[in-house]
């Protein structure tokens, strides 16, 4: 009987231990379920954020495309403007060259007038003999 009592005590202790283990397992499973629930919530939140980022990236790509087209248009306009400016520069150079020729002719006239004036006693006669100087550009 003593052996039967020992065996019963061991079985009772084992049953108590199994109840405690079952309780611990249920607690751990509850904790794991809670953690999984939190993890699912985080995953859902991340999926929503990822979708927002995808939409924003699509918008950004469209805006970059528009900006690229704008830069291409600006580049083309700058190229056209540079061509126009080059033409204006060329026209200005022609105008400046024509003015230089006119000025050099006037300088020649002035020098001849000075020579004639200081060589002759009658200054009016020398000046009247010189041709008329035109300051305006001739119309074509």
Between the CA of residue 28 and those of 15, 34, 35, 40, what are the distances in Å?
20, 10, 10, 18
Quote the Cα angle for 39-42-44, to 5°.
Answer: 110
**C-alpha of 87 from chain center:** 30
How do the domains of the chain map onto residue ranges? 2-129
Q: Render each residue's pLDDT in the chain as its tens digit; 140 residues.
A: 677 788 888 888 888 888 888 888 888 888 888 999 999 999 999 999 999 999 999 999 999 999 999 989 888 888 888 777 777 777 777 777 777 777 776 666 666 666 655 555 555 444 445 555 566 666 65
Q: So what's the pLDDT on residue 115?
A: 61
Let me know: does 91 contact 82? Beta carbons within 8 Å.
Answer: no
State the Cα–Cα distance between residues 98 and 104, nearest whole angstrom.
10
pTM of the model: 0.40
Q: Which pLDDT does position 128 carry in this prediction?
A: 46
**Measured distance CA(13)–CA(15) in Å, rounded:** 5
Give pLDDT, residue 8.
80
């Amino acid at each position: 009987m003593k052996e039967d009592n020992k065996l019963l005590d061991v079985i009772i202790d084992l049953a108590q231990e199994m109840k405690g283990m079952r309780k611990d397992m249920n607690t751990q499973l509850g904790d794991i379920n809670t953690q999984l629930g939190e993890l699912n919530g985080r995953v859902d939140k991340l999926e929503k954020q990822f979708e927002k980022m995808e939409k924003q990236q699509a918008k950004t790509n469209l805006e970059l495309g528009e900006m690229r087209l704008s830069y291409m248009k600006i580049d083309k306009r700058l190229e056209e403007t540079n061509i126009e400016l080059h033409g204006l520069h060329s026209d200005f150079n022609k105008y400046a060259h024509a003015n230089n020729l006119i000025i050099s002719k006037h300088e020649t006239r002035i020098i001849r007038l000075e020579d004639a004036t200081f060589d002759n006693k009658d200054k009016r006669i020398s000046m009247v003999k010189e041709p008329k100087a035109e300051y305006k550009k001739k119309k074509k």
